[in-house]
Structure 1
Amino acid sequence: MKAPARDTQPQRSLYSYAHAVARRRFKSKQNKLIRQVFPKYDLLGWYSIGTHPTESDMAVHKQILNHNESPLFIQLNPLINPSLAKDLPLHVYESVVDLVDGSNTHKFAKQKYKIETGEAERIALDHVATASNQDSDRGSTLIANLTTQRNAIKMLHSRIQILKAYVRDVENGTIPRDHELMRQIASICQRLPAMNSTEFQQKILSDYNDILLGSYLAAITKGASAINEPRN
């Protein structure tokens, strides 16, 4: 006798529902933890990749509505040729509610945006956009600034070496002592920071410990997130 066929569709539906509930509970718990660490921050929206919004994006967006009444959706388009594009390959959307066939329907509405950048961000982006190699004469603003600082440091080092050689020759009696010049050298030495002072050592040790602590916390957070991430 053949065993009766079983309908597995309800089991798949039950699994999908349970998986979705588990994901929502995980996200809710994660948002609570983030709010405890960053109480002044709020969830503004989310992002994805693609050429245009899809129904799947709207389904995720509706879940974000539980945490923010008007979240933003940023979609990055990886298919745009960066050499031909004039603007950044991203679009910003907000959800609007339209009345379709007598029922409220959520739709994405494209919004205009303006990017505000600081000087450091502008230099970094310019360096990434116009990064040069050894075979090219083109260079970014970052390379030019670093080259200028390097040349200034080299010049300062060479001038200090000249002053050290002069003081050494005066002490050895090779050249006569010029008191006016020695006073100027003493004035320059007083302007230079003392790198071996106790205050400097404490400051650099404090900064070093802060950087190590930040690295350790980042590693712990990454490991905890990987452990708590539910497996499909």
Structure 2
Amino acid sequence: MNMVSPTTRLLIFSWLIFPLYEADKMRHRGLRQKDAEYIEKYSGCIQGPAGSPGREGNPGVNGIPGTPGVPGRDGAKGEKGECVSEIFEEPWRPNYKQCAWNSLNYGIDLGKIAECTFTKHRTDSALRVLFSGSLRLKCKAACCQRWYFTFNGAECAGPLPIESIIYLDQGSPELNSTINIHRTTAVEGLCEGVRSGLVDVAIWVGTCGDYPRGDASTGWNSVSRVVIEELPK
């Protein structure tokens, strides 16, 4: 043994010690790995069930107003519009008049019986006229009389005259007398085309064309009336 050199003794010692060092190092490494796995396995938290939803919070206060935006640009010029004129008319107001007579007892056979002046407001309106009164015609032979309206002296032309007639064939030969019956009769109609302003509305009596005229009577022992009314077209 005394003949072994120091270098040889060092090598022998290294061969003996190095395996032990490596084994201890491996043992410590295994322990550290087991500790890490244990910590990872048992140190984590298990997630529990979800809680009930919370209540809504109170509304927040208004924020700071924003700054005004940049003004927009003018749009393109539009096309020229059409000129529409509106006509505003006054609402229609009733316009009528009545003229009445008590017991005219007018016995003429030809001519004007009565007249009633009326103020017509519009040119494009129509006139409704009515005569109501007692009429009579008598004769020994056939005869005919005609009662009609005129407007400012002319009969209605829009569209036709306003008239009423009475015709008798003959009297009563058995009693050697003529028929003498007074009846309340109406002469009525509408006339268009009469200008606005004052209008003289009159009721007349005349003949029936070529027929002989008889003995006419108007408004006997009763009230006679002329009613005039302006109507919109």
* TM-score tier (shorter): under 0.3
Larger radius of gyration: 2
Identify the structure with the greater strand proportion. 2
* TM-score, structure 2 normalization: 0.16
Structure with greater proportional helix content? 1
